[in-house]
Structure 1
Amino acid sequence: MLEKQPTTIRDAQGTLTVVFSEATTAPERVRCAKLASTAFGKSLSAEGYLEREEYLGNLPLARGAGWRFWSLTSADNSDVVLAMCKTLHRDLLVRDTDGATRQEQGYCICSVITDSGYRGRGLASVLLKHVAEWLDGAGHAKASMLYSDVGKFYVSKGWDVLDAFQSTLAVPPPIPREELDGLPKTRLLTIDDLPDLCERDVESLKNDFRNSEPAADTILVAVLPTSPLISWLQSRTDFMNAKTHGKVPKTKGTICDSAGAWMYWYHDLRHNKLIVQRVKLPKGQGEPAATQALAKLLLDTLDEAAKWGLQKVVLWNPGSELRSAMDFLAAKMKIDVTSEKRENSEIPCLRWRDGEKLNVTVWPNEFYGWS
């Protein structure tokens, strides 16, 4: 068990001693969750947020030590949580500069929050310093990621900002069926389809990494789109949609079997958008077959968004294959596509073990890695 570590802060507001520790008991986690709810649970009641935390904590990705809570408590009263965050398990795939490819332990840092009465006193810095020490030690982390609206804040803490580009497709009026002639057939996915597809996706990514040829000094890293991770995110959005809108979409994506390509999506009913979580690109398809397969999958996302009255479809960091498909849709069907860099929301950041500054490329860098 992690030994509790006290830190004394002396500033213009006085002297404050805090204790860093892992919240392992149910009461400790509830106290952490109550603080987190003040920033991250505004769309839910306090009770609803605690219910969601308990529900998510029992899912395969988080069960046991997959989801850990870290806190700074008052040295005078351990029941008073002044700052907290969580670490959530990630399976990483790493291709090192020597060409070796292997699976490594990783984490996503989430729900970093300081009590409003203690902000500006460096508590988040103290918290993250201790969490980083745990990551480098007992956590056996090769790397960790976080997603933040204040990405630059984390640079001084050791997490470097990654690319944060996105493309947005405006949901069009119904497309005449004749416009779809010549495009490959697709079918919709349900939650039951995902485990097998995730397994195929993971093996395909491993093969891609083994056969990749990055620059000599570049390390390739991927968050593996495993079934526990994808299902955790799907379960999270299902819970939120049920609580905030009283309904849960049943379709989870679309697949083009002939091209070996598929997409998972994420219904964000609260923010009126459909987010593409993961795109499995076509294999063994030349042009224009690959472009047309991806275009048809994107049309399915637009159709799904329209069914739910959502205004847009969002993709993170689309590569050249997806950009070609979006260009195809813009030219052939006049679908409005906007591409831009995200500056102030969900900025991905990465920290390598021991804070090493290396030339690391995260690929793919899609929404499914987010928490």
Structure 2
Amino acid sequence: MSEKQSAITIQDAKGTLAIVFSEATTAPERIRCSTLASTAFGKSLSAAEYLEREEYLGNLPLARGAGWRVWSLRSANDPNLVFAMCKTLHRDLLVRDIDGIISQEQGYCICSVITDSRYRGRGLASVLLKNVAEWLDGPGNAKASMLYSDIGDFYVSKGWDVLDAFQSTLTVPPPIPRARVDGLPKTRLLTRDDLPNLCERDVESLKNDFHHSKPAAGTILVTVLPTSPTISWLQSRTDFMNAKSHGKVPETKGTICESADAWMYWYHDLRHNKLIVQRAKLPKPQGDTNVDVTRALVELLLDTLEEAAKWGLQKVVIWNPSPRLRDPLKHLEKQLEIDITTEKRESSEIPCLRWHGGQKLSTTVSPNEFYGWS
């Protein structure tokens, strides 16, 4: 796509700003945008490390080519001055419309929305997002877009509607109350090499689930597909951060119970002292297997707690746990006395969604787990 440029003038009590909305396509333009982004999103890294991370992530399969675009508002008089910027990162969406028709669609996650602190309060973020939305509805060919924010209400006025955001937090006990007993479902830990095949299986399983789903009348069902590029992008980002902050990268990336066709991807957030479950792929229905699926999930959750304990992490976090995880979580809480808190997120990482053209549609996002975050 050729660079889009729109001349815009902002006049307010602070004066006049002549600005241009454009895509940052050259290396110097991207560096200027990343330098601005680092002031808000790179506080645990040096400026050089942040630029190194951005270059590294930009070359991963999910972001390569046009998968990751950088947008800016810059001065019309000084192209080196960036007032505000954000990024759009590719997402594969699975959509079941109100007629039951299922399709795979182009989507995006909007991330790193930032305005230079010297120019805040002048509506620049609103102008930036308005122009990005026009691109999404036009050349971007976006069925929908998502973002995650600490100020969800701000984005509602820009067309992105807030979604429910719940999470369960498990406190890691010392020691993990686990007994290895013959006859229980067997699990094994996952490495990065396991992920591509499992992601492919997971995508096909979700498509099958959508065919058999029964959403409320007039409701669209949508999810971000947990493709290998999506899962590995976040894994790679976290590996980079752990290497810089702690000088080490955990090799295990999850756990699987093959007999139940169930697994979990996780990543170690060493800086914030927690292990986050990216995706919990649920077992086959009870009637399709002789495995006790509740116990299989309990075993996967215990693997997760053990992995967190191995690294001295205090918490395990699961976003929007499925109703089918309730019994396993209850077992951990009641039978094994694991402290579990389930609460609604209202002030951090709030998911928001905007449909093409800003349509207001009755929507269920399921699954809506951590792997969709950027």
Q: Flag whether TM exceeds 0.5 (same fold).
A: yes
Correspondent of 1:362 among 352, 361, 365: 365
Deviations 1:293-335 (A, max 9, x none): 1111000000000000000100001121111110011111111
Is the aligned partner of 1:49 residue 2:62? no
Q: State how far apart, in whole Å, the 1-side matches of 2:42 and 2:35 are.
A: 9
User: What residue identity is the alignment partner of 2:367?
Assistant: P
Q: Deviations over 1:139-192 (max 9, x none)?
A: 000000000111111000000000110000110122355375653110000000
Tell me the amino acid that sits aligned with residue 326 of structure 1: L
Alignment match, 1:336: 339
Distance 1:177 1:20 in 2: 57
Aligned residue for 1:167?
168
1:49 Cα deviation from its structure 2 partner: 0.1
Matched, 1:347 2:350: yes
SS at match of 2:265: strand
Match of residue 320, structure 2, among 309, 317, 322: 317
1:4 alignment partner in structure 2: 5
Identity of aligned residues (%): 78
Could you tell me which residue of structure 1 aligns to residue 21 of structure 2? 20
In 1, distance between residues paired with 2:69 and 2:176? 47
**8 Å CA contact retained: 2:152, 2:352:** yes
- Return the alpha-carbon distance in structure 1 between the equivalents of residues 218 and 83 of structure 2: 42
Corresponding residue for residue 289 of structure 1 = 292
Distance in 2 between the 1:177 and 1:370 partners? 32
CA distance in 2, matches of 1:337, 1:36: 35
Structure 1: tracts of 5 or more residues without a match: none
- Counterparts of 2:3 and 2:71 in 1: how far apart (Å)? 10
Unaligned 5+ residue runs, structure 2? Answer: none
**TM-score normalised according to structure 1 size:** 0.98
Deviations 1:5-37 (A, max 9, x none): 011111110111110000000100000000000
Match of 2:114 in 1: 113
3-state SS of the aligned residue for 2:10?
Answer: strand
Aligned partners of 2:259 and 2:291 also within 8 Å: no
Aligned equivalents of 1:291, 1:28: Cα separation in 2: 52
Aligned counterpart, 1:327: 330
- What does residue 262 of structure 2 align with? 261
How far apart are 1:231 and its partner, in Å? 0.6
Segment drifting more, 114-123 vs 1-10: 1-10
CA 1:180/1:315 → structure 2, altered by over 3 Å: closer, same or farther?
farther
Task: Please give the TM-score of this superposition, normalised by the length of structure 2.
Answer: 0.97
The residue number in structure 2 matching 1:228 is 229
Say which of 300, 307, 310 aligns to 1:307: 310
2:176–2:306 Cα contact (<8 Å) kept: no
SS of 1:168's equivalent in the other structure is strand
What amino acid maps onto 1:231 in structure 2? S
User: 2: distance between equivalents of 1:288 and 1:331?
Assistant: 22
Structure 1 CA distance, aligned partners of 2:367 and 2:40? 29
**Residue 212 (1) aligns with residue 213 (2):** yes
Match of 2:136 in 1: 135
Q: Secondary structure at the match of 1:106?
A: strand
Q: Could you tell me how far apart the structure 1 residues matched to 2:103 and 2:176 are? A: 45
Q: Shift of the alpha carbon at 1:202? A: 0.1
Distance 1:177 1:212 in 2: 35
- Mapped to 1, the partners of 2:122 and 2:280 lie a distance apart of 42
Structure 2 residue matching 1:234: 3-state secondary structure: helix
